[in-house]
Every structure is written in structure tokens, then in C-alpha cells.
Structure 1
Amino acid sequence: MTFTITACGFVPNVWILIVLRAIQGCFSGYINNANAIVAASVPIEKSGKALGTLATGNVVGTLLGPLLGGVLADTFGYRESYYVTGVMMLVVFVTTALFVHEQFTPISKSQMVPVKQIFHQIQYPMLIWGLFVTTMVIQAANMSMTSVISLLIKELAKDQSRVALVSGIITSLPGVVTLIASPLLGMLSDHIGPEKVLVNGLLIAIICFIPMSFVTNIWQLGVLRALLGISDAALLPAIQSLMTYYVPKSGFGRIFSYNQSFQAMGSVGGPMMGAVVASIFSYQSVFMATAILEVANVLFLIPTTKALWHAGSVKDRLRVKEGRTVGDVKN
């Protein structure tokens, strides 16, 4: 990714840029591997907090990245922003190579457990599929606004000269809140169960998206976007925690990679949905469409998590898994 991003700054035409971006996509598996390493390394009773902290970097980077890109482009230029980003990726490479270590024994292809068998080993296979779909919907919901939010802000703003700056601030507000809330909600998921945090996080998102459809000024939109950061802080860490607990370690890499693929599908489908809805109805209608999508997701997810709602904290579940009941533990 360091090479491809840096090379984008030297392209002579758009076709080579497209090819380099496609190659970059083939090697952008860092996040799911980071999730798998953390999930396998951290004591499972602390997985919510650990994955919540890790997810903070992912979510905040996704939300603040466009703002940073805009600042770099305005300060240095479009091509130079690729060079700066390439240097940042080089720093990530060096940091990972020097400081990230794992105990890993390669498995030959003949000994590797097939994905179908991994799903047979999972206690709640429908839960995992529900988490895949939820990851896709969450990402689609976050990305559905990217194609229209600047246009909506331009429509609402009284001072047209500051539209770019205001758009960057409004876009980044959820990331600021997520930065603060994600580790806290991760600890909460360890205490009450990640499925409760997940479902309630989706409900908070719905509560935020519906009034966004009726905003009449930028301040209303900003407040609701900031509250949406609480939802973002709850969702992805809870999904990662549930996968960590219910997926066997032999399948971590592949299951987390599948989850990343569903997230990528949301990244593609979200902006397309937003653009289509905005072109047919209005910019605000995108928020209502996103809320409807989230409602459908909640209705789909609740049956898949129903068996977990009375399982207690992660520590309780671990002890039950070891053969002791939750009642025994409490006693």
C-alpha cells in the first residue's frame, strides 16, 4: 500500500490511477488481520475493551481521513497529498514490523480446516451471518451520506464561502465522539454482553438518522452527527467481540476476512444508495432511507442474538463454557 499510494502521485492519466487503486485494494487487508491478532492475543474477558480501542482507530480514521485529505490537498496539492499519505503508510509498516509480534505456526494447506467445517464448529452460526450482514449495513449507513452531505450543507449554509470547512467539521464530528466513547463502550460490552451494546447501538443510530431527515440548519445536523458517534463507538467493537468469543481460533483469520469483505460491500453499496435516493427524492431522504435500512437490520439481528441475551457478562460466559453455571459463578 505504501508503494501504490505513493505511485498514485506520479500517474500521467486516470487509467493508471484506476489500476493502482485496484492493486491497493488487493493489499488492504491490514485491518482484519489486526483484529484477528488482537482477538487471539488478548484475554477474552477483556476483548471488548481491546477491540473497542482498536476499532477507534479504524472508525476515527475513516471519518477524519477525508478531512485530513482535504487539508493536505489544499496545503500541498493533490499529487503531494499522495506522497504524504505514502510516508504515513511507511511509518505504519515500520511500526508494525518492529513492534507487532505474534506466536504463529504456519499450517499447511492439507491441514487447514475448511470454512464449512469451521461453521459447523461455531455454536451459533446464524449469529455470525447476522454479524456479517450487520457489518455491511453499518458501513453502508456510514457511507451513504458521503455522496450528499457536502451538497446538503451547501443547501443549508448561509455563508457559502465556508462550505468546504463546515463539511469537513460536520463529517468528522462522529469520529471525535467515537474516539472518546469506543473504549468505554468496549468495557461495557465486557460487563453486560456485546450483543446488548450492538442492538442498542443500532437503535441509537436509528434515533439519530430519523430526525436528520428534517433538519433545517447546520447546527441541528452537527448535533445529530455528533450523537451518531456514540452509535459508531458501540457497533463495530461489539461485532468484533462477539466474533472473538464464538469463532474458533483456527478460523479467526478467514472469518474476520469475510467480515471485512462484507464491510467493503457496504462501502460500495452505501454511496450508491445515497446517490440514487438523493437524485429521486432529496438529500434529507437519504437519512430516512438509512434509518429504514437500520430498522430492517435490527429486525434481522435480534433473532440471531436472542439466545445470548441472558448469558451474563463475558466472564460468566467463560465460566459456563468451562462447565460451571452462571449461578455457580455468582454464588
Structure 2
Amino acid sequence: MKMWKRNLIVCWFGMFVTSIGMSQIAPVLPLYIKHLGISNTALIEQFSGIAFGITFIISAVFSPIWGHAADKFGRKPMLLRASLGMAVVIFSMGFAQNVYELIVLRILQGVITGYSTACTTLIATQTDKEHAGWALGTLSTSNIAGSLLGPMIGGYIEENFGLQNVFFITGILMLITFITTVLFVSESFTRENKKVSSIKEIWNIVPNKSLTIIMFVTSFILTLALYSVEPIITVYIAQLSHNTSHVALLAGITFSASGLANIIAAPRLGKLSDKIGAQKIILVALVVAGIIFIPQAFVKNPWQLMGLRFLLGLAMGGLNPSVNVLVKRITPDYLTGRVFGFNISAQYLGIFGGSILGGQVAAYLGIRYIFFITSTLLLLNAVWVYFKVYKKLNVNYPGLA
């Protein structure tokens, strides 16, 4: 088996488990905080929001830092650092004695993140151009699928094995990720003698700055759109369903439907982007996704919503790998880790921003407006991509067409 294919398999598993570790706490967090001694409902909600969101904010800050380290020391050392560190930290959450220890551990989890950044950089730099879109598309399924399936997996473990075992089982999976990375990931890394330290220096030597910014914003909008429904999905399902006994299960399936579709679509659309151009996939995916959001506001039952979320996942499956392909092609190898770090930071901010947006819009305007606002953001992003990327790519960046 070729080295890049073996690396892809290990990185896929590692990113899937890492994403689960980042998101699986969502459904069990209020229960665990209550278990730690907080009985006031308002305080439980407050601490839950802080504990969940702070990991993604801290991760957004540290992803470029670990991307820099990956460019400097190699990607495999960053994979080992992140997987072992997360295994220890997540496992330790099961022993937290109070909510403040839990929050500190969630902060530490955000600090030591970087597995996704290192994996994306490793695959992007060591996969031949003909297979880059397919490889990055396949890899992207792990991150999104893990994030979307994580809450359902966390809820299942809690219900069948207990609260603390959510953390113990995830920690053990991260340890397995560490071991498989040690044994099976290979890297041909040559450090370039280019000393670039500050963000300003990095930005000054990034070619095609406007295109890079558009890709970052697109990554942000993509994850914001996927997660805008997360805070209200249970409430919306309850409104649509006449059988209230299975609301939690239906909500988990509905939220995860787009993740399943993403797993199916992303490798295929990534491969297609290798043939027809990543910019075409990005434009079409944004338009289709923006349109699919609108009927979600008018569904009459949970099954219609599930179907539309599945179609949404199929459409959005082409976005992340195509963005990564373009970022790879416009970025020098010695900056790849840092630029991908910023791109993943944009995704983490999108997860946090989507959760905040969904909750606030639902509270002040109503649930259905979430779908209208998210659709508008996607379609505006599509217009921006059409004029600044699709139409001008052949003229300004002929090597990327």
C-alpha cells in the first residue's frame, strides 16, 4: 500500500475519534454538571454553555500555533502530541470532582488540539496532485462525521454505560489513535530554511491573499450552517412530532443525517473536483445548500426534516475538500501547516458561532428564521465566490483552473 494511502486510513480514524472527543460531551454535559453537584437549572445551563463552547474557542486560537509547529518539526510529532494529550485529558474528565475542574480540563483539551491540522497538512503535502481532491474529501468526512455523530454516540454511551464512561471510552479510543499513529504513519519531512514567525510575516508572504480569505470565510459559513440547528433541533422535533417519547432519539438521528450524507458525498465530490475544478464544486454546493435550507422551515414532520438534512449533507460534502484543495494549491509547502491551521480555526469558530446563532435567533425570532438566515448566508457566500473566485480564477490564477 502506498504511504499516503496508509497515512490517510490512520488519519481518518484519528480525526474521527478526535472530532467525537470534541463533540460527544454535548448531550451529557448538563447531566454530568448536575452529577458534579450543581442543582440549579439556570446554573447548569450557564456552565454547560461555557464548558462546551470554550473548547472550540481555545482550539481556534491554538490551531495555527500547532500548524506552525507542524511546519517546523514535522506533522507526525504533532499527531502524537495531540492524540496522547487528548487521551489523557479526556480520560481525566471522568475523574472531575467539580464543575470548575471540568471546565479547566475542557480548556486544556482546546489547548492541546491540533490533530486535525497536522493530518490535513500531512495528507495535503504528501498526496500526488491527481488524487489530492479525493484524499482530502475522504479525510474531511472524518472530521464532520465525528462532530455530527459525536453527540449521538455520547448519548448512547451515557444511556448504556454511564456518565463517566463517556470520557473513559473516548480516552481509550484516543490512546488507540496514538498507538496506530506511532506504528503506521510515515512521513517524509524536510524542514525548509525559512524563518517565518509572526502572523504578519506569514500573511505578507501568502500568495493570493483574497482567495485565501474567501476560503477561510467559506469554511466558517459551512460549519456555521451545519451547527446553527444544533441548539434547537430537539425543540423543533418536539414541535413536529406527535410522539414525544422518542424526541431525543429523533433529534439525534436528524442532526446526524447530514453527517452520514457527508461521508457518502465528500470523497466522490472531492474526486470530481480533481477533474472539473474545485471552484466549480464550491459554487454549486453553496447554491444547492442555500436552497435546501429554505424548505426545512416548512416541514410538517420529523421525517421530512431528516430527508432534507440528508440532502444538505450531500450538497455540503463537496465544500470542505474543495476548499482544502484550493488552499493547498495556493500555499507554499513550508506554510501549509499554518494556513491549514487558520482554516481549521475558522471551522471551530463556525461551530461555536452556529450554536450561538441558532439559540439566539430561535429565542428572539423563532425557530423557522434560523433556516432563512442560514440560507441567506450561504447564498451570499455563493455570490461572493462566483464573482471573486469562479469568474476570475482563469484570469488571475491560471495555474489553478
Within 2, Cα distance between the matches of 1:317 and 1:126? Answer: 16
Q: Contact 1:45–1:190 at 8 Å: present in 2 too? A: yes
Alpha-carbon offset, residue 124 of structure 1: 2.1
The equivalent of 1:293 in structure 2 is 377
The equivalent of 1:11 in structure 2 is 96
The equivalent of 1:206 in structure 2 is 290
Question: Is residue 2:113 matched to residue 1:25?
Answer: no
Alpha-carbon offset, residue 104 of structure 1: 2.0
Alpha-carbon offset, residue 280 of structure 1: 1.0
Within 1, Cα distance between the matches of 2:163 and 2:199? Answer: 43
Alpha-carbon offset, residue 120 of structure 1: 4.8
The equivalent of 1:161 in structure 2 is 245
Question: Is residue 2:157 matched to residue 1:97?
Answer: no
Alpha-carbon offset, residue 72 of structure 1: 0.4
What TM-score do you get using the length of structure 2 for normalisation? 0.75
Runs (5+) with no aligned partner, structure 1: 321-331
Question: Is residue 2:240 matched to residue 1:182?
Answer: no
Residues 164-243 of structure 1 aligned to structure 2 (within 5 Å): 164-243=248-327
Alpha-carbon offset, residue 21 of structure 1: 0.3
Question: Is residue 2:134 matched to residue 1:49?
Answer: yes
The equivalent of 1:266 in structure 2 is 350
Identity between Structure 1 and Structure 2 (%) = 37
Question: Residues 145-176 of structure 1, C-alpha deviation per residue, up to 9 Å, x if partnerless?
Answer: 11001110011111111111111111111121
Amino acid at match of 2:357: M
Runs of 4+ in 1 over 6 A off after TM superposition: none
The equivalent of 1:248 in structure 2 is 332
Residues 279-318 of structure 1 aligned to structure 2 (within 5 Å): 279-306=363-390, 310=394, 317=399
Q: Contact 1:66–1:168 at 8 Å: present in 2 too? A: yes
Q: Contact 2:89–2:105 at 8 Å: present in 1 too? A: yes
Question: Is residue 2:140 matched to residue 1:58?
Answer: no
The equivalent of 1:69 in structure 2 is 154
Helix, strand or coil for the counterpart of 1:148? helix
RMSD, matched Cα = 2.0
Q: Contact 2:196–2:202 at 8 Å: present in 1 too? A: no
Runs (5+) with no aligned partner, structure 2: 1-85
The equivalent of 1:78 in structure 2 is 163
Q: Contact 2:220–2:346 at 8 Å: present in 1 too? A: yes
Amino acid at match of 1:187: K
Find the partner of 1:111 among 161, 179, 195. Answer: 195
Point out which structure has higher relative CO (alpha carbons under 8 A, 6+ apart): 1
